[in-house]
Chains A and B, each alone.
Chain A
Amino acid sequence: MNARMDRGGVVTQSLAQIGACGLFLLTLLAAVPRSFRYFRETLRQIWFVGAMSLTIVMTCGLFVGMVLGLQLYDVLSIFGGTSATGTVVAIAIYRELGPVVTALLFAGRAGTSITAEIGLMRATDQLDAMEMMAVDPIAYVAAPRFLAGVVALPLLGVVFCAMGVFGGHLVGVTWLGIDNGTFWSNMTATVDVHKDIINGVLLKSIAFGIVVSLIAVYQGYTTPPTSEGVAYATTRTVVASSIAILALDFVLTSFLI
């Protein structure tokens, strides 16, 4: 809260933001054991940020897979290698598109609403009221939403990948006539459980889940208590999350590959 008020240069302000965000993460993690008391609340948040995001994630996954199948078939047919379509669709989705696009969608669909909700609580002094009633707002409001995001994003990412592969299969095999067995056998011959599923989908999704949820909760929690402040915080959630996701994706990939 104080960091935001500082009138420094852009660099100083950004550094202060990052620092405050890191400190907030520590506070949040410290509050996680206390938040287990509000397990129901965490479950409700998983429902809200996870299950309610299923529709958009599944639809987008399907279309991403379909367009990948279409484009790859088009390009690979130049080289007579259309049988590799399945492999490339799967690898592209598992390693990059699945985790990244899901995280971007999640930031837009769930991150914004977390920020707006907590921001409004801040603006309407609900958080202060909780503190007066000896309810720790970090443990009751922030931590469950953070945990829900960390749990939900990997699950959404996996569903996205499954829909993407289904979409690629739909276009490649059902419409464009790649042999079904070739499609799957090439995929199973190349895709590796450890490298593509665990390191690709799961690890990246968990990392993105932590980052996106942290940014969303932090932005909401430190919102200036005005309607304008809530609007700015929501925007900042999307911008900061997107940048963080893509930058972190590069860093993670360079470590994992």
Chain B
Amino acid sequence: MTQRRSYAVGTGLFIVLGFAALAYLATQTTSVANSRQGDSYTVETHFANVGQLKARAPVKIAGVRVGSVQAIDLVPGKEEAKVTLSIDKAHEDIPDDSVATIFTSGLLGDQYVGIQFGQSKKTLAEGGTIGFTRPAQQLEEMIGKFFGGGSAADRLGGTYKVTGHFTNVGSLQTGAAVKMSGVPIGSVDSVVIQPGHLDAFVTLAIDKNYSQIPDDSAAAVFTSGLIGSQYVAIQPGGSPEYLKDGDEMVLTQSALQLEDLIGKFLVNGSPSDNKNGAGNSGGQPDASSGKK
């Protein structure tokens, strides 16, 4: 009889253990379990866009986890997200003018809230608000900046036009950006071949704000990144005279064709300088050296 009872107790324990495990799985690993934490205080923030931020995502200061995201709601009537942060009591000394930013860990990683300290002497308290926020960076926006960011430079001050001859413009298109030191200063107005010429005639529309470009500057067709779109880069020269409307840029550098580059690499070992005057249109020393 006692043996039977021990079976009964053991079996009961086994069944209870099984159901306890089931309850654990169902409540703790699936449904967004209520974030029961130790001592913490909540702080409210408002973001224009939370991206992929999820409840229970970490809140970090200088990369160290100090709390978690408690809730994400929409502010009623506004296109704005209210994010409630739950921060450990141990970190009570956060200045109240700190900046909350939504970061992404790695390129594909998860998003978290980073807090950067401000200068204020006052600290955040329970129920406080972090006023300064920076929304999540949307990948689309970043890619947009990357590829086409400067193509439409604001033509607030009007533009002036300069021209240049290129032996090869690659896939440069009308509307592509013109950049100096990486900053967009204008756009490509037209890409044509003039009657009687063998090279491309490119007209650049440059913002009048950037009128002090030396007239011996060089124009080169560059590619943003490996697969990015092409743009015209202005490399400033040293002349005291500035480019004026209708001027021609004498020094040009054609687009580098990937095939030519590889050819050069294989034949010569290193790419050669292919700057050439725009005047000797038929010469094309760069192209012929590439085909050797």
Contacts and interface: CB of A to CB of B under 8 A. Distances in A.
Contacts of A202: 22
A248 interface: no
Contacts of B24: 162
B275 interface: no
B233 to A, nearest CB: 32
A187 B22 CA distance: 16
Size category, A interface: 35 or more
Given A156-B18, A158-B25, A188-B32, 18 more contacts: A40-B4, A40-B8, A46-B11, A46-B14, A47-B10, A54-B17, A79-B108, A158-B19, A161-B21, A181-B56, A181-B57, A181-B65, A184-B29, A185-B55, A188-B31, A193-B31, A197-B26, A201-B25
Interface in B1-54: 4, 7-8, 10-11, 13-15, 17-19, 21-22, 24-26, 28-33, 54
Nearest to B13: A51
Given A47-B7, A83-B109, A162-B21, A182 B29 contact: no
B90 interface: no
Nearest to A50: B14
Interface string A37-49: 0001001101100
Contacts of B56: 181, 184-185, 188
A188 B29 contact: yes
A81 B108 contact: yes
Interface in B82-113: 105-110, 112
B191 to A, nearest CB: 40
A153 to B, nearest CB: 10
Interface string A75-112: 00001111100000010001000000000000000000
Interface of A: 40, 43-44, 46-47, 50-51, 54, 79-83, 90, 94, 151-152, 154-156, 158-159, 161-162, 165, 179, 181-182, 184-189, 191-193, 196-197, 201-202
Contacts of A185: 54-57, 68, 110
Given A40-B4, A43-B7, A182-B57, A83 B18 contact: no
A79 to B, nearest CB: 6
B11 A43 contact: yes
B11 A159 contact: no
A189 B7 CA distance: 40
Contact of A192 (B4, B22, B30): B30
A179 B59 CA distance: 11
Contact of B29 (A44, A51, A90, A181): A90
Given A44-B4, A83-B110, A181-B57, A155 B14 contact: yes
B114 interface: no
